[in-house]
Homo-oligomer: A and B are copies of this chain.
Protein backbone atom coordinates (compact mmCIF):
# COMPACT_ATOMS: atom_id res chain seq x y z
CA UNK A 1 0.00 0.00 0.00
CA UNK A 2 1.06 3.56 -0.62
CA UNK A 3 2.72 4.91 2.53
CA UNK A 4 1.31 7.99 4.22
CA UNK A 5 2.60 11.23 2.82
CA UNK A 6 4.40 13.80 4.91
CA UNK A 7 1.51 16.21 4.47
CA UNK A 8 -0.50 16.28 7.64
CA UNK A 9 -3.90 17.47 8.73
CA UNK A 10 -5.22 18.87 12.00
CA UNK A 11 -7.48 16.62 14.00
CA UNK A 12 -9.07 17.38 17.37
CA UNK A 13 -7.74 15.22 20.18
CA UNK A 14 -10.27 12.87 21.69
CA UNK A 15 -10.95 15.07 24.68
CA UNK A 16 -11.52 18.07 22.45
CA UNK A 17 -14.39 16.49 20.56
CA UNK A 18 -17.70 18.17 21.40
CA UNK A 19 -21.09 16.54 21.19
CA UNK A 20 -22.70 19.61 19.61
CA UNK A 21 -20.12 19.65 16.82
CA UNK A 22 -20.53 15.95 16.16
CA UNK A 23 -24.32 16.27 16.00
CA UNK A 24 -23.99 19.22 13.69
CA UNK A 25 -21.59 17.33 11.45
CA UNK A 26 -24.06 14.46 11.28
CA UNK A 27 -27.05 16.68 10.53
CA UNK A 28 -26.23 17.13 6.84
CA UNK A 29 -27.44 14.58 4.26
CA UNK A 30 -24.18 14.53 2.29
CA UNK A 31 -22.14 13.96 5.40
CA UNK A 32 -24.50 11.25 6.60
CA UNK A 33 -23.98 9.54 3.25
CA UNK A 34 -20.25 9.58 3.83
CA UNK A 35 -20.48 8.27 7.38
CA UNK A 36 -22.82 5.51 6.32
CA UNK A 37 -20.54 4.47 3.51
CA UNK A 38 -17.51 4.46 5.79
CA UNK A 39 -19.38 2.31 8.29
CA UNK A 40 -20.55 -0.15 5.67
CA UNK A 41 -17.69 -0.30 3.23
CA UNK A 42 -14.89 -0.09 5.76
CA UNK A 43 -12.21 2.43 6.55
CA UNK A 44 -9.47 4.03 4.50
CA UNK A 45 -11.71 5.10 1.68
CA UNK A 46 -10.52 7.90 -0.59
CA UNK A 47 -12.72 10.99 -0.89
CA UNK A 48 -13.19 10.28 -4.57
CA UNK A 49 -14.96 6.96 -4.12
CA UNK A 50 -18.06 8.54 -2.62
CA UNK A 51 -19.29 10.31 -5.72
CA UNK A 52 -21.47 12.77 -3.83
CA UNK A 53 -23.92 14.68 -6.02
CA UNK A 54 -22.08 17.95 -5.39
CA UNK A 55 -18.96 19.57 -6.76
CA UNK A 56 -15.46 18.56 -5.77
CA UNK A 57 -14.93 21.68 -3.70
CA UNK A 58 -18.15 21.10 -1.81
CA UNK A 59 -17.05 17.54 -1.19
CA UNK A 60 -13.79 18.81 0.25
CA UNK A 61 -15.78 21.12 2.50
CA UNK A 62 -17.91 18.27 3.89
CA UNK A 63 -14.91 16.09 4.61
CA UNK A 64 -13.30 18.95 6.44
CA UNK A 65 -16.37 19.45 8.62
CA UNK A 66 -16.35 15.75 9.47
CA UNK A 67 -12.66 15.81 10.31
CA UNK A 68 -12.71 19.01 12.35
CA UNK A 69 -15.66 17.79 14.38
CA UNK A 70 -13.83 14.57 15.19
CA UNK A 71 -16.08 12.16 13.29
CA UNK A 72 -13.43 10.99 10.82
CA UNK A 73 -9.68 10.97 10.52
CA UNK A 74 -7.88 11.66 7.27
CA UNK A 75 -4.41 10.91 6.02
CA UNK A 76 -2.79 11.46 2.68
CA UNK A 77 -1.58 8.50 0.67
CA UNK A 78 -0.10 9.62 -2.59
CA UNK A 79 -2.56 11.91 -4.31
CA UNK A 80 -5.44 10.41 -2.37
CA UNK A 81 -6.76 11.32 1.03
CA UNK A 82 -8.00 8.33 2.96
CA UNK A 83 -10.91 8.63 5.37
CA UNK A 84 -11.70 6.56 8.44
CA UNK A 85 -14.38 6.75 11.10
CA UNK A 86 -13.01 7.54 14.56
CA UNK A 87 -15.05 4.72 16.05
CA UNK A 88 -13.02 4.22 19.18
CA UNK A 89 -12.91 7.87 20.11
CA UNK A 90 -16.60 8.36 19.47
CA UNK A 91 -17.52 5.23 21.38
CA UNK A 92 -15.42 6.29 24.34
CA UNK A 93 -16.93 9.76 24.46
CA UNK A 94 -20.48 9.05 23.36
CA UNK A 95 -21.26 5.37 23.88
CA UNK A 96 -23.79 4.02 21.44
CA UNK A 97 -24.27 7.28 19.61
CA UNK A 98 -22.68 6.36 16.31
CA UNK A 99 -24.45 3.03 16.27
CA UNK A 100 -27.86 4.52 16.90
CA UNK A 101 -27.33 7.17 14.24
CA UNK A 102 -26.33 4.51 11.71
CA UNK A 103 -29.32 2.38 12.62
CA UNK A 104 -31.58 5.40 12.35
CA UNK A 105 -30.11 6.15 8.92
CA UNK A 106 -30.88 2.69 7.65
CA UNK A 107 -34.38 2.63 9.09
CA UNK A 108 -35.17 6.01 7.61
CA UNK A 109 -33.80 4.97 4.22
CA UNK A 110 -36.04 1.91 4.24
CA UNK A 111 -38.99 3.93 5.40
CA UNK A 112 -38.56 6.56 2.70
CA UNK A 113 -38.04 3.92 0.01
CA UNK A 114 -40.74 1.41 0.89
Binding site for B on A (CB under 8 A): 15, 18-21, 23-24, 26-29, 32, 93-97, 99-101, 103-105, 107-108, 111
Q: How many copies does the complex hold?
A: 2
- CB within 8 Å for A108 and B26 given contacts A94-B100, A95-B100, A103-B96: no
A/B interface sample: 24 pairs, CB < 8 A: A19-B101, A19-B104, A19-B105, A19-B108, A20-B28, A20-B29, A20-B32, A21-B27, A23-B26, A23-B101, A24-B24, A93-B107, A93-B108, A94-B101, A94-B103, A94-B104, A95-B103, A95-B104, A95-B107, A96-B96, A96-B99, A96-B100, A97-B101, A100-B100
